[in-house]
Amino acid sequence: MTDPATLRDSTQIVLPCGVLDEHREGLEAEFTVTMVEADDGCRIIGSPIEIKAAGDFLARHGVNFA
> Is 65 inside a domain boundary?
no
> Is 30 inside a domain boundary?
yes
At 4 the pLDDT is 58
Give, as one character, the DSSP assignment of residue 61: T
> Is 18 inside a domain boundary?
yes
Report the pLDDT averaged over residues 21-42.
92
Number of compact structural domains in the chain? 1
Q: What is the Cα–Cα distance from 13 to 33, expressed in whole angstroms?
A: 10
At 30 the pLDDT is 96
Q: Which of 63, 66, 65, 64 is nearest to 23 (CA)?
A: 63
Boundaries of domain holding 26: 4-60
At 5 the pLDDT is 60
> Is 47 inside a domain boundary?
yes
> Is 29 inside a domain boundary?
yes
pTM, entire model: 0.82
Distances (CA, A) of 41 to 2, 4, 37, 54, 66: 26, 20, 6, 17, 14
Q: What is the Cα–Cα distance from 66 to 64, expressed in whole angstroms?
A: 7
At 31 the pLDDT is 97
> Is 66 inside a domain boundary?
no
